[in-house]
Amino acid sequence: MDSSETTQGEACFGSPGSWASGLNQSSADGRRADDLSALLCAHWQACSPSGPSLSLEQSRQLIEFAELLQHWNRVHSLTAVEGLADTLQRHLIDALRAWPGLARRLADQAEPRCCDVGSGTGVPGLPLALVMPGLQMDLVERVARKAAFLRHAAARLGLASRVGVHQQDVTRLSPSRPYEMIVSRAFAPLENFLEWTFHLSGPGTTWLYMAGKLNEIKHLEGDRYQHPRLAGRLGELSVEAVGGSGPERHLIWIRRLS
């Protein structure tokens, strides 16, 4: 990670531990959820000063989602991430890093449809659906307990009308029409992600792969990606480094040609 990424991460979360201490202080003082929502808004603004603004209502819903995830996690072991501060930083803020790029790429779509593959805890799909009210989101998760959580969370957050949950292997999914956007975080290597979801796409579809270190991705050389079995079908590629105090994160955007 270069110095610019480190600086952005420090701007987003302050000195080490400040994000967690701010949330813990709010909880310790018995402050209302509004205080946590305002804190989340402030940290998002610091993390993405040129990105879209997070409203207080959106922040409240994100806090509610984080609390739902924590509650279910105690019984159903959905994620290794524990504690409200870590959940907000490593799940919600991480998901929101895709928001500016997603909004730009879908700006000319009247009713854009997005598929979150291997959704698991609902990240990034549910946070993105919360902050993008015009977005139709399908969450694909084959593990029963995780799919049950996704249905419950979508209903509790008032998203059931535009968030669908599909408990099945993504290779068996058969949508009525191609998705405009297909996203993945920690689902499979990029090569497999593209191959297993190619049938969900059409000309112009964009894939978003939320990656860690770039040197761990096969067939990626600079600004070129050569898929061994989809040669000539993939076009524009964009790699975006995003800051933060957590693990290294890159957003890889790939657009289908034909």
What local confidence, expressed as pLDDT, does residue 30 receive?
A: 44
pLDDT of residue 83 exceeding 80, the answer is no
Between the two ends of the chain, the Cα-to-Cα distance in Å is 34
Percent of the chain with pLDDT over 90: 54
- pTM assigned to the model: 0.85
Domain residue ranges of the chain, discontinuous segments joined by +: 97-256
CA distance 240 to 102: 12
The CATH class of the 97-256 domain is alpha beta
Q: For 39-61, how does the pLDDT look when each residue is reduced to its tens digit (9 = 90+)?
A: 788 878 877 888 898 988 899 99
Q: Could you tell me which residues are beta bridge partners of residue 182?
A: 115, 207
What local confidence, expressed as pLDDT, does residue 215 receive?
A: 87
What local confidence, expressed as pLDDT, does residue 56 receive?
A: 84
For residues 218-244, average pLDDT: 87
Other CB atoms within a 10 A radius of the CB of residue 61 amount to 21
pLDDT of residue 8 exceeding 60, the answer is no
What local confidence, expressed as pLDDT, does residue 243 receive?
A: 67
Better pLDDT: 39 or 10: 39
